[in-house]
C-alpha cells in the first residue's frame, strides 16, 4: 500500500506532465524540455554546469531530494565521457556539502536507477539521486522509489539549497 503524501505542488506538476504530453511529441524527454526552457526557478533547476544540471526532484522521496543529470540526452551511464563523469562527481560532492549546510541532514542516499527494470521513472535520460536522510525519518531504507511525507514546501527548500549551492560552486 502506498503512503499518501500531502504535496500541493504535485498536482499541478502531474497535470502539466501528463496534460502536456498530449500536445508535445511522444518521444519528448521531460528533462531535456526543462533544460531547453528559460524558466529555471519554475522548473526547480538549481544549477546549470557545462555538462551537468542540478535540479530538484518533483516527486521527492524526502525533503531536499535533488538530481544530477547530464545535459546530453543519454540512458547509458557507461557511455558518459570522462568530462561528463568528472563534472557529475564534482557536483555530487558540492551538492552534498550544500545540502548539509542548507538542511542539516543526518545522512544521504545517493544512487542511480538505470533502466525501467531497475525502477527508473524516466529511463531514457539517466539521472543520479541525492536524498538527504534524517534519523527516524523511516524505519528502514527502501530501494529509491518510495514517497515520503515532505515537511517543508519545495519552493522554500529550493531557495535554501540554491543559495548554499551557489557558494559551493563559485570556487
Ligand atoms: Zn533528455
Q: Give me the pLDDT at residue 60, please.
A: 85
The rounded distance, in Å, linking the Cα atoms of 42 and 150 is 19
Residues that are catalytic: 127
Tens of pLDDT along 32-69?
Answer: 999 999 999 999 999 999 999 999 998 888 889 999 99
**Domains of the chain as residue ranges with CATH:** 30-169 (3.30.428.10)
CA 36 – ligand 1 centroid, Å: 10
* CA quadruple 146, 44, 90, 120: dihedral sign: positive
The b-or-e profile of 137-152 (16+ CB within 10 A means b, else e) is beeeeeebeeebebee
CA 32 – ligand 1 centroid, Å: 4
Q: Give me the pLDDT at residue 52, please.
A: 98
The rounded distance, in Å, linking the Cα atoms of 30 and 127 is 12
Q: Which residues of the chain have pLDDT under 70?
A: 1-26, 138-152, 171
Q: Give me the pLDDT at residue 16, please.
A: 40
Q: Give me the pLDDT at residue 27, please.
A: 72
CA 26 – ligand 1 centroid, Å: 13
CA 156 – ligand 1 centroid, Å: 27
* Cβ partners under 8 Å of residue 62, min gap 6: 131, 132, 133, 134, 137, 148, 150
CA 5 – ligand 1 centroid, Å: 28
Amino acid at each position: 500500500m502506498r503512503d499518501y503524501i500531502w504535496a500541493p505542488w504535485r498536482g499541478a506538476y502531474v497535470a502539466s506532465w501528463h496534460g502536456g504530453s498530449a500536445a508535445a511529441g511522444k518521444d519528448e524527454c521531460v528533462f531535456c524540455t526543462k533544460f531547453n526552457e528559460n524558466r529555471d526557478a519554475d522548473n526547480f533547476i538549481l544549477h546549470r554546469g557545462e555538462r551537468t544540471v542540478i535540479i530538484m526532484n518533483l516527486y521527492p522521496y524526502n525533503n531536499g531530494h535533488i538530481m544530477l543529470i547530464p545535459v546530453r540526452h543519454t540512458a547509458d551511464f557507461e557511455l558518459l565521457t570522462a568530462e561528463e563523469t568528472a563534472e557529475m562527481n564534482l557536483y555530487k560532492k558540492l551538492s552534498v556539502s550544500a545540502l548539509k549546510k542548507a538542511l542539516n541532514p543526518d545522512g544521504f542516499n545517493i544512487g542511480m536507477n538505470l533502466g525501467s527494470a531497475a525502477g527508473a521513472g524516466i529511463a531514457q535520460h539517466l539521472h543520479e539521486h541525492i536524498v538527504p536522510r534524517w534519523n527516524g525519518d523511516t524505519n528502514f531504507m527502501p530501494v529509491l522509489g518510495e514517497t515520503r511525507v515532505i515537511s517543508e514546501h519545495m519552493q522554500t527548500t529550493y531557495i535554501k539549497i540554491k543559495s548554499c549551492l551557489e557558494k559551493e560552486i563559485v570556487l
